[in-house]
Amino acid sequence: MRFYKLVMYLSLVVGFALLGVMIWQVGVVGLLESFHLMGLWIVPFLLLKTLPLFLHTAGWAACFPGQRLPLRLWQLFLVRQAGSAISQVTPTATIGGEVTKVLLLEHVMPQEQATAAIVIDKASITLAKMVYLALGMLYVMYTLPLPTELQLSLYLSIGLISLGLMGFIAFQRYGALAKLVQGLERFRIAPQKLQWLNRHLVRLDRQLVTYYTDHPWRFICSLLLHFTAYLSHTIRTYMVLRLLLGTDATGFPEAFMITVAVAALDQLFFFVPGQLGTLEGARFLVLSLLGVAQIYGLTFGLIARIDVLVWHGLGLLFYALCTGLPVLPAPKEL
């Protein structure tokens, strides 16, 4: 735990330093002029985020067992945004957000069902992202002059994550999570905690196996929805570049390439809290490699930062609504 906190604080310091160096390099006056080019168009840019967010929400909805979703789609959207916001503002990676989702869903369904839906969705959205990055990087590799070492790092990261993910899905499909814990019990390490975990995993395995057996096509549907959500980010990238660069802006294929390259770099630095510095740096680097003036690369990154702050701020507001007001259905007997 101490090592994790040390890495987190070190990442924050490095992130602040990186952001400061980029701002110093391009100048504050130039940044203000670039933001002036965006003007009020930043509002529709922010609103366009609703498209991928609702597609991701629909992808999660396909991961619930049973014939009927326990919540309306807009309510599930609130739960998802609340969880995403908690993940960003707490030093728990994505675990804090997933736990938050389970707690919010306990009002309408058993904990095991809510956990199963989140575990399945986590596998679906991660697999969709890996497919998106793998296909996109094939295009990027022959177009964008990324350093060879960086390309190898990206492909190695994507390959290892995809391999582990396929194994994780297989464990879900055949209900082997509890069996894995049972195997660990042989080493006599924290046996009481492992026994407690095993009892919960047995019930979770039952939910997972039922889902993959009774609703095999739902996972494919979820995967396609998440994949489409990632593709839709290209629209927002094209819009920003068009506003900043005018007639010198790249075309839609190039906007797709930039979106993929940025997503790959974001994936590479996922461990940095709040992606401080790396969120801006990834966009700064990609546009610089394409020959775009650094001022526009940093402006692109800062616009992305505003986007994150706005939507995560709304997520925290949604969390307050979900916990303090009757946004979700009242608890009922299960």
Tokens representing residue 278 in the block: 């790396």
For 41, phi then psi, to 5°, come to -65, -15
Long-range residue pairs from 21-26, CB within 8 A, at least 24 positions apart, any chain: 22/280, 22/281, 22/284, 22/294, 22/298, 22/301, 23/298, 25/294, 26/294, 26/295, 26/298
* CA–CA separation, 268 and 271 (whole Å): 8
Tokens representing residue 173 in the block: 């499909």
Q: Does residue 7 contact residue 271 with C-beta atoms inside 8 Å?
A: yes
* CA–CA separation, 195 and 182 (whole Å): 8
- 3-class secondary structure, 334: coil
Stretch (H or E) spanning 232 = helix 216-245
pLDDT at 195: 59
* CA–CA separation, 52 and 117 (whole Å): 19
* CA–CA separation, 258 and 299 (whole Å): 15
pLDDT at 316: 87
Q: Does residue 84 contact residue 97 with C-beta atoms inside 8 Å?
A: yes
pLDDT at 327: 47
Integer CA distances (angstroms), 113 to 65, 100, 239, in order: 7, 14, 40
pLDDT at 333: 38
Q: Which of 297, 289, 301, 263 is nearest to 143 (CA)?
A: 289
pLDDT in tens, the chain (334 residues): 555 556 555 655 666 666 666 777 666 777 777 777 788 888 999 999 999 999 999 999 999 877 677 788 888 998 999 888 887 766 555 677 888 888 888 888 888 888 889 988 988 998 898 888 888 877 777 676 667 777 777 677 777 777 877 777 777 776 666 566 555 555 555 555 655 565 667 677 777 888 888 878 899 999 999 999 999 999 999 998 888 888 777 788 888 888 988 888 887 776 666 677 778 888 888 888 888 888 888 888 889 888 988 998 888 888 887 765 444 444 343 3
Does the pTM of the predicted model rise above 0.75? yes
- 66 Cβ contact list (under 8 Å, min separation 6): none
* CA–CA separation, 59 and 124 (whole Å): 8
* CA–CA separation, 31 and 20 (whole Å): 13
Tokens representing residue 89 in the block: 């503002």
* CA–CA separation, 59 and 328 (whole Å): 20
